[in-house]
Structure 1
Amino acid sequence: MSGRRVLGLCAVLTCLGLVAGCGTGGDTGKPAGPSAVPLVSTGELPAAEPGEVHLFGINDLHGNLQPPEGSNGKVGAYTAGGAAYLAAHLAQLKAAYPDSAVLAAGDNIGASPLLSSLFHDEPTIDFMNSLGVAASAVGNHEFDHGVAELRRIQQGGCAADGCTPGQPFTGAAFPYLAANVTDADGQLPPGLRPWTLLVVGGHKIGVVGTVTPDTEHIVMPDGIRGYHFGDETAAIDKYVPEMKQAGAETVVALLHDGGSQQGGGTVDYNGCAGISPNVKALADKTDGAVSVLFTAHSHQAYNCTLSGKVVTQAASFGRLITDVTLRFHDGKVDAHAVNRVVTRDITPAPAAAQLVDYYAGQSKPRAERVIGSATGALPADPAPAGDSPLGDVIADSMLDAMANTRAVAAFMNPGGVRAGLTGGDITYAQAYTVQPFGNQVVAVALTGQQILNLLEQQWDNVSKPAVLSVAGITYAYSDSAPKGHKVIGDSVRIAGQPLNPTVSYRVSTNNFLAAGGDGFSVFTQGADTQVGPIDLDALETYLRAHTALAPPQSRIEKK
């Protein structure tokens, strides 16, 4: 690790209020309340048995190097997360279980806080290198900036805007695995692998990685053009013979896909209550040679045994570590897992703390700059009709940014609004957390009929219904109406006038949607595309011009 990479570096989702679970090992603290279950962390670890191997899994870190705040930094009543604490807990686990390896199930980077994303997520890769991560699945967010940037993340080199700060980035020291991502010739993205072989405690373990097939609908289409995101279990099964031929005694799958526990009340993060059917299907369909499935993507916590396989997920943001024990005997392997909370009641790891402090110092002047204010909270959560107050403000900013093109309306996708604003002064860091992707604002010409078709596509979305936040347009819809007929046609007003299906209107959006992202293919039918500023720059300009911004009323009516 170079001098600039921290002086040598010597060594929104859902269910964020998970309550700590009892698990099957670790230290037991005082319950936080009558309905809470005891804490499981890394104190008083049981002694390793001879020949025992441990795998430590994390997922969906999303560049959260500083301790995440609010509900994002909780596991139930327990405060959790932060790179320096994650490193410290992993050090305790490694000391107890030296025959071990660290694995990641994707979304290590992308949609990251300013401290990481301002530097192209290089700080997060540096941190993961310092942990000694042995392999990671790709997540959908690893593709946020396209296949070419993912290759740079894997292999190193300067970003397009240069090397900042200091010396060139050396890349991930661990392999990114993408078994189900192929081009028309069946080739993986450059620099990536389908699987790798680990030797831990004298035992050979095949590790294969996949990412949700939904990736092609939720990242920038231009960045992944030509690549297909295939069935995950089929991809895993395809490579099992290769791994066994290479000597693998068992196979572990890193799947950037997952589900959640169902039902009300206290959620045990080491439980498997009413696990969603897609998780069970992943276990059912995967080759019997696979003993463990580390899942991800849904930011949930669970610990299951399904179809004879251990199936786990460690929530998100570095708040949990999945500790999997493998015991080899008679040509077989027994697997067992426990999710452990990354508490903040231990001494943080000095090297990781040094890394975080270094990049915090580098980003501080820009992060703390006040760029606007709001008279009240601007939530990212949807209003009853589906648009969000903050999403509508972002749509306002995109409409203003393209006013010189005579744009009359704007559309913002809900998945692009990564956090809300609490009101009062708004700093650059807060705005960056809201819009970390660096998308370009664009304007395209659509006919009135195409705009109607676009609005109807909100209920055709591949992942889930996605109501767009809007500016310059108002309308009503009937949720009970059949698909294709939900928008009440004569309710649509654009620039204050009834929508004319035959008239061409210029509308503003981001280049993710303009390329057909989130399944909004109507945007690709637009004509005369014009390019504006980066979305974050447009938002900053808008906030500076509208001081003491009042939260907007919804522009959509749900009948």
Structure 2
Amino acid sequence: MKLRRRLIEAMIAVIGVVLMVSCGGHGTAPSNSPHANQIPLVSTDDLPAAQPGEVHLFGINDLHGNLEPPDGSNGHVGAYQAGGAAYLATHLAKLKAAYPAGAVLSAGDNVSASPLISALFHDEPTIDYLNSLGVSASAVGNHEFDHGTAELTRLQQGGCAADGCSPGQPFTGAAFPYLASNVTDVNGQLPPGLKPWTMLTVGGHKIGVVGTVTRATADIVMPDAIRGYSFGDEADAVNKYVPEMVAAGAETVVALVHDGGAQQTHGAAIDYNGCTNISPNVTILANRIDPRVKVVFTAHTHLAYNCVIGGKVVTQAASYGRLITDVSLRFHDGTVDAKAVNRVVTRTVTPDPAAAKLVAFYSDQARPRAAHVIGTTAGPLSNEPTPGGDSPLGDVIADAMLAAMAPDHAVAAFMNPGGVRADLSTGAITYEQAYTVQPFGNQVVTVALSGEQILNLLEQQWDNKTTPGVLSVAGITYSYSDAAPKGHKILDDTVRIAGQALNPAAVYQVSTNNFLAAGGDGFSVFTKGQQNAVGPADLDAFNAYLASQAKIEPPASRVQRR
């Protein structure tokens, strides 16, 4: 299947800073801070009593099918281990018990780019799990479009996938509406099965909920998956429907916005309930949204913050089910007050039995394939960028793409940072681990580019609007000057390809995935070359390369920053 991506995405595009990483860095900066343990734990212990007229909304985002507790830095919030479907269910149950006038909301990317336990079954386990949590509504995220609008409709409405039914009970689809107010075709219609907004009645109060997805979806999803649809301005879409919701009786409005930003703490610990130097796009968005919207749940950057901007509560709950945003709305004297706290989904609570049973069932179904060992690494392969910007694991994936297309005369390869979703530790590499690293199902292809086009491609790392960042590479080395003006950062005389100095007039066959070849992540130079060959799926190429090597050594950086 064609997927894509990228991700992550954007985490830094939103800040306007060049970050040498890949929706998708996956928002784990807090756990890497030497001062992370200075941030006190806020979880679901000692919940304050609800005040009269108080309603609670429990927000999550960017779950990405992480039903099992995520590993490594992706499984922490600061110093605290966090995440896992059974633990998330327990914490939500505690919140619902304390605040029965409550509703669960998601800001999107519930599915896709998922671990094998969910992805192997077309993410149906995750939708079933969200149904069990009683999710009331979700924004559609960019990853919900990964397999195309027809598959998104199936996830909403149920039925078997094209290649057959998954094990377990018949899949009946999401019991909650997906909201996509800024996604329309040429006739102004939303994708089938989606809605722009919904109305909730919680604690006797009517709350309008509207959803949007990042406009960057047009650049970070395979074109075929979203053909015919455009992604409009998010604030405009929210504002368009606010009068409609108010006319329908909404006492207040909440926006689920699958877009977001980041705090900038300049090396200090990141408080998951802080709002330090929040990136400007978040402030601009909040100020542009209709003042009748009291709460904006954001997403996409996988980071945590808790802000009040322009009289609105603006939050994000990291990713992978590690945080719950607990928003309290207090209705009194014809007004509505809002406040929020991000609560850590610790693993110190008793796992929810029903959620644990669901996870165990699909884990057992996936285990025979998941546990198969396909290779070995002599040291950890990190997805974190080197000082030059490429990552060790990204470079190994580029090696795999180059090896796969060498029979088609490829001499170099390029890998987008957002397409690498996890690290690999030292030792045996299982199919499940390899899948978690590369879950998108892209095809490996060759594209003919001139040397001059390759130089232009490398320069695009600083001017593409979706994910500014350095591509991981194979068969090519170069240096760049970070201080040089945009368009002149690459030091031309340092670029070597296939062991030789780059010739601007020569034509080279380069290997990449079909997401980048289609201009994904804003790398439009690829579309100016001739695509000459289609190879294996990226995961198959990666697995074949791992199997062909006695032991993978972590490579030295191929990109030098001067």
Query: 2:491: which partner in 1?
Result: 488
- SS at the partner of 2:284? helix
Structure 1 residue 393, shift from structure 2 partner: 1.1
Query: 1:325: which partner in 2?
Result: 328
1:136 aligns with 2:145: no
Query: 2:445: which partner in 1?
Result: 442
Contact 1:270–1:338 (8 Å) recurs in 2:
yes
Query: 2:111: which partner in 1?
Result: 109
Q: Pick from 171, 176, 179 the counterpart of residue 177 of structure 1.
A: 179
How big is each residue's C-alpha offset from its partner over 1:271-323, in whole Å with a ceiling of 9 and x where there is no partner? 32333322222221110110111111222222222211111111211111111
Residue identity matched to 2:143:
H
Query: 1:479: which partner in 2?
Result: 482
Residue identity matched to 2:144:
E
> Greater CA deviation, 47-56 or 251-260?
47-56
Q: Pick from 295, 312, 323 the counterpart of residue 315 of structure 2.
A: 312
Residue identity matched to 1:403:
A
Structure 1 residue 15, shift from structure 2 partner: 5.1
CA distance in 2, matches of 1:444, 1:168: 43
> Greater CA deviation, 203-212 or 163-172?
163-172
Q: Residues 324-363 of structure 1 correspond to what in structure 2 (within 5 A)?
A: 324-363=327-366
Contact 2:264–2:276 (8 Å) recurs in 1:
yes
User: Relative to structure 1, is the Cα distance of residues 167 and 351 closer, same or farther in structure 2, using a 3 angstrom cutoff?
Assistant: closer
1:542 aligns with 2:545: yes
Query: 2:242: which partner in 1?
Result: 240
Query: 2:384: which partner in 1?
Result: 381
Query: 1:6: which partner in 2?
Result: none
Contact 2:37–2:79 (8 Å) recurs in 1:
no
Q: Which runs of 5+ in 2 are unaligned?
A: 1-23
Residue identity matched to 2:79:
A
1:197 aligns with 2:199: yes
Residue identity matched to 1:132:
G
RMSD: 2.0
How big is each residue's C-alpha offset from its partner over 1:462-510, in whole Å with a ceiling of 9 and x where there is no partner? 1343211112222333333332232233433322233333333222110
Q: TM-score, normalised by structure 2?
A: 0.91
User: Relative to structure 1, is the Cα distance of residues 529 and 169 closer, same or farther in structure 2, using a 3 angstrom cutoff?
Assistant: farther
Structure 1 residue 34, shift from structure 2 partner: 11
Structure 1 residue 150, shift from structure 2 partner: 1.7
Identity of aligned residues (%): 72
CA distance in 2, matches of 1:266, 1:351: 36
> Greater CA deviation, 371-380 or 122-131?
371-380
- SS at the partner of 2:38? coil
How big is each residue's C-alpha offset from its partner over 1:90-137, in whole Å with a ceiling of 9 and x where there is no partner? 111112222211100111112211211122211111100111100001
Query: 2:524: which partner in 1?
Result: 521
Structure 1 residue 194, shift from structure 2 partner: 0.9
Query: 1:8: which partner in 2?
Result: none
Contact 2:36–2:79 (8 Å) recurs in 1:
no
CA distance in 2, matches of 1:347, 1:385: 44
Contact 2:305–2:315 (8 Å) recurs in 1:
yes
User: Relative to structure 1, is the Cα distance of residues 396 and 48 closer, same or farther in structure 2, using a 3 angstrom cutoff?
Assistant: same
Query: 2:374: which partner in 1?
Result: 371
Q: TM-score, normalised by structure 1?
A: 0.91
CA distance in 2, matches of 1:172, 1:217: 27
How big is each residue's C-alpha offset from its partner over 1:60-96, in whole Å with a ceiling of 9 and x where there is no partner? 1111111122222222222221111111111111122
User: Relative to structure 1, is the Cα distance of residues 206 and 489 closer, same or farther in structure 2, using a 3 angstrom cutoff?
Assistant: same
User: Relative to structure 1, is the Cα distance of residues 441 and 167 closer, same or farther in structure 2, using a 3 angstrom cutoff?
Assistant: farther
Larger Rg: 1
Structure 1 residue 45, shift from structure 2 partner: 2.3
User: Relative to structure 1, is the Cα distance of residues 245 and 340 closer, same or farther in structure 2, using a 3 angstrom cutoff?
Assistant: same
How big is each residue's C-alpha offset from its partner over 1:412-441, in whole Å with a ceiling of 9 and x where there is no partner? 111111122122211111111111111111
Query: 1:4: which partner in 2?
Result: none
User: Relative to structure 1, is the Cα distance of residues 44 and 233 closer, same or farther in structure 2, using a 3 angstrom cutoff?
Assistant: same
Residue identity matched to 2:407:
N
Query: 1:23: which partner in 2?
Result: none
CA distance in 2, matches of 1:485, 1:270: 40
CA distance in 2, matches of 1:170, 1:99: 27
Query: 1:24: which partner in 2?
Result: none
Query: 2:76: which partner in 1?
Result: 74
Query: 2:261: which partner in 1?
Result: 259
- SS at the partner of 2:307? strand
User: Relative to structure 1, is the Cα distance of residues 35 and 417 closer, same or farther in structure 2, using a 3 angstrom cutoff?
Assistant: closer
1:291 aligns with 2:303: no
Query: 2:283: which partner in 1?
Result: 280
User: Relative to structure 1, is the Cα distance of residues 338 and 192 closer, same or farther in structure 2, using a 3 angstrom cutoff?
Assistant: same
Q: Residues 411-426 of structure 1 correspond to what in structure 2 (within 5 A)?
A: 411-426=414-429
User: Relative to structure 1, is the Cα distance of residues 265 and 400 closer, same or farther in structure 2, using a 3 angstrom cutoff?
Assistant: closer
CA distance in 2, matches of 1:144, 1:552: 31
Structure 1 residue 168, shift from structure 2 partner: 4.3
Query: 2:432: which partner in 1?
Result: 429
CA distance in 1, matches of 2:35, 2:200: 42
1:502 aligns with 2:471: no
Contact 1:17–1:75 (8 Å) recurs in 2:
no
How big is each residue's C-alpha offset from its partner over 1:30-75, in whole Å with a ceiling of 9 and x where there is no partner? xx99963543222332222333211111111111111122222222
CA distance in 2, matches of 1:257, 1:207: 16
Aligned pair count reads 536
User: Relative to structure 1, is the Cα distance of residues 80 and 222 closer, same or farther in structure 2, using a 3 angstrom cutoff?
Assistant: same
Bigger relative contact order (CA 8 A; separation at least 6): 2
Contact 2:35–2:269 (8 Å) recurs in 1:
no
- SS at the partner of 1:248? coil
CA distance in 2, matches of 1:295, 1:528: 38
CA distance in 1, matches of 2:422, 2:492: 32
CA distance in 2, matches of 1:33, 1:462: 32
Structure 1 residue 528, shift from structure 2 partner: 4.2
How big is each residue's C-alpha offset from its partner over 1:491-535, in whole Å with a ceiling of 9 and x where there is no partner? 333222333333332221101001100111111122243211110
User: Relative to structure 1, is the Cα distance of residues 266 and 444 closer, same or farther in structure 2, using a 3 angstrom cutoff?
Assistant: closer
Q: Which runs of 5+ in 1 are unaligned?
A: 1-11, 20-31
- SS at the partner of 1:426? strand
- SS at the partner of 1:46? coil
Contact 1:222–1:515 (8 Å) recurs in 2:
no
Query: 2:233: which partner in 1?
Result: 231
User: Relative to structure 1, is the Cα distance of residues 484 and 171 closer, same or farther in structure 2, using a 3 angstrom cutoff?
Assistant: same
Contact 1:58–1:318 (8 Å) recurs in 2:
yes
CA distance in 1, matches of 2:453, 2:306: 46
1:53 aligns with 2:55: yes
Contact 2:87–2:346 (8 Å) recurs in 1:
yes
Residue identity matched to 2:455:
L
Contact 2:27–2:319 (8 Å) recurs in 1:
no
> Greater CA deviation, 364-373 or 489-498?
489-498
User: Relative to structure 1, is the Cα distance of residues 283 and 33 closer, same or farther in structure 2, using a 3 angstrom cutoff?
Assistant: closer
Structure 1 residue 331, shift from structure 2 partner: 2.5
Query: 1:300: which partner in 2?
Result: 303
Contact 2:467–2:521 (8 Å) recurs in 1:
no
Contact 2:37–2:78 (8 Å) recurs in 1:
no
Residue identity matched to 2:503:
N
